[in-house]
Chain A
Amino acid sequence: MSTSTPTNAPAQVLRPDRKKNRLGYNILALVTAVIMAFPVYWLVVSSLRPNHEIRSYDQTLWPSSLTFDNFARAVKQDNFATAIQSSLIVSVTAVVGGMIIATLAALAIGRFRFFGRKALMMVMILVQMLPPTAMLIPIYLQLNALGGIDEYWGLIVVYLVSTLPFATIMIRGFVINIPVELEESAMVDGCTRMGAFRRVIFPLLAPGLAAASIFSLVNAWNEYLFAYILINDNSKYTLNVWLMTFTTERGTDYGALMAASTLISIPVVIFFMIIQGKMATGLTSGAVKG
């Protein structure tokens, strides 16, 4: 600022203008942030509100007092424990199985040139675009014929495969960034192919696996349509389907529904906090290296 040579003049003219602009953008951005976060705020606040405020014709933005009654009602709702169990069994199995299959396929695509490799990748990208409702009817009929309705395995297979293409393509990005020489030198030093994989490749793949598995977990945890159609047994409902039990003929228990929704979101939020960091490293290491 102190030096005022002629060349600096235009910059000086620009500066206050820019600052004013930035203030405007900042205010606009804060408004956007409030709008985006509002439903989340409303969820949490409603779940902590006393029931008479929930069923009030005059809604207020701030609660007058906080209570855990809604949570108590939500937890006492039938099948809460079994719904957690179902969601956990289905999600975890689908993710673990999916990661194993995706890693094998990613190694093949990333490490070998074989006939049909390109076609496989195209199929993987294309199948992700098929509408799930198109798959729903034949999958339902087929599982019905195989006795897979009301069984976890049907849901597990569907969830596993629905994230498989994405997971494979993501892990492949990590595979091709690991130099083949690393693997070869381990084998020269006396490792078997499996040994080389376990000691050298696997640790380097770990961040990619973490990101892909959290992505799959969120997907399985949030899925609704297939869970609703393939599972009819109340005691095997997943959490998302269980949420519907708060709506009865006589109306909706919004307080308990909000409390239950909050409980269901907590694991997703935690996974998301992890995914943010991992995903960022995953994406940049895939895109920048090489």
Chain B
Amino acid sequence: MTAADTQAAGPPVPVPDAPEKTGKSPSTQDAAGPRPKKRRTKGELLPYLLILPAILAIAAVYVYPLAKTVIMSFQDLGRAALWGNAEAEWVGFEQFTVILGDADFWWVVVRTIVFMTVCVVLTMGLGLLIALMMLRLSTWVRLTLTVALVAAWSMPLMVAASVFRWLSDSDYGLINTLLADITGNEDKWLGHNWFLDPVQGFGIIMVLVVWGAIPFVVITLYAALTQVPKELEEAAALDGASAFGVYRFVTWPVIKPVFIMVATLSVIWDFNVFGQIWLLRGNKPEPEYETLGLYSFSKAFESTSFSQGSAIALITVLLLSGVAVYYLRQLIKTGEVE
């Protein structure tokens, strides 16, 4: 659900759909053919009855709020309208022009995109390297690494954020102590506040995000790598292909769909990072730590301008929609949606 919560979440499971095509159509025809008409209409209604609860639930929690976000972003919704004391006023594109004309907003957008890009590149790069490494390990080492990955993966986001806050604490944090010991420069590191400078602060947040995302990426990519036919790799190597050549022409084509799917999900999750920043900044992120999600949140709930918050959320959705369409096309290509 949230960027980070979904770290435990996987992508939709790719499943081939052959059996329903071959097995289904003839049998429904058999069943429907000789039977009276009444039975057939019942059969046609049944699937709709079955999906009704799901449709209602999704409409209530996704479709309706999204429509409402669009509506609210064209209104001016403040406290009074929220409590029902006044009608919300229609203001057209005013919220958007105000936001888009605000230099702060553009800084938030740039910050979000830079942060997301660095996190995704690091996550996918390190994830791929670790997954490739896993193919070349002794069994017990691979097992040890898997256990470590699963241990990191199973740590709840909020708990992981608490640990990282403690590790980077200016007075009692291990990072400062270790740096002081290693460099011998106690004055510089003891009591060093990592969050005074947002670049350093985001460095810590990035380590937390990448660390939290790597297990999912590695385990998924490793699963994909095991599908690469060994004979093909060996044949290519015997034919004189370099290690990189084998990877480029044999391994990569097999894992590419999975890689793109995981990368796309990472883009979405890292674009919407919330909890990690929120908790590392002790519930009160400073303006220079705001990404789009936090910016929308603070506009809505701290400045109680729900319409501005909604407009920002909508702009975020639009910025991500390109990625969403790309992702969907990939899924259609691999046959997930038939």
Contact = CB atoms under 8 A, between A and B. Distances in A.
B207 to A, nearest CB: 10
B45 to A, nearest CB: 9
Instruction: Please classify the interface of chain A as helix (H, G, I), strand (E, B), loop, or mixed, using the class held by over half of its residues.
Output: helix
A58 B177 contact: yes
Interface string A175-190: 0110111001000000
Q: Chain B CB within 10 Å — which of A26, A159, A164 has the most?
A: A26
Instruction: Please classify the interface of chain B as helix (H, G, I), strand (E, B), loop, or mixed, using the class held by over half of its residues.
Output: helix
A34 to B, nearest CB: 7
Nearest to B55: A120
Interface stretch (A64-72, A77-85, A198-206, A219-227): A219-227
B13 A282 contact: yes
Contact of B190 (A57, A122, A279, A286): A57
A196 interface: no
A86 to B, nearest CB: 15
Interface stretch (B96-104, B117-125, B192-200, B309-317): B309-317
A184 B182 CA distance: 71
A283 B13 contact: yes
B231 to A, nearest CB: 16
Interface residues of B, number: 119
B6 A125 contact: no
Interface of B: 1-3, 5-6, 8-10, 12-20, 23-25, 27, 31, 44, 46-48, 50-51, 53-55, 57-58, 60-66, 68-69, 72, 77, 82, 84, 130, 133-134, 136-138, 141-142, 144-145, 147-160, 162-167, 169, 171-174, 177-178, 190, 211, 214-215, 223, 268, 271-272, 274-275, 278-279, 282-283, 292-293, 296-297, 300-301, 306, 309-310, 313-314, 316-317, 320, 323-324, 327-328, 331, 336-338
27 contacts: A26-B137, A33-B144, A37-B152, A46-B163, A56-B172, A59-B172, A59-B173, A125-B336, A130-B62, A130-B317, A131-B313, A133-B316, A134-B296, A134-B317, A136-B300, A137-B296, A141-B82, A142-B68, A162-B1, A164-B58, A218-B8, A225-B278, A243-B162, A264-B158, A265-B159, A290-B15, A290-B19
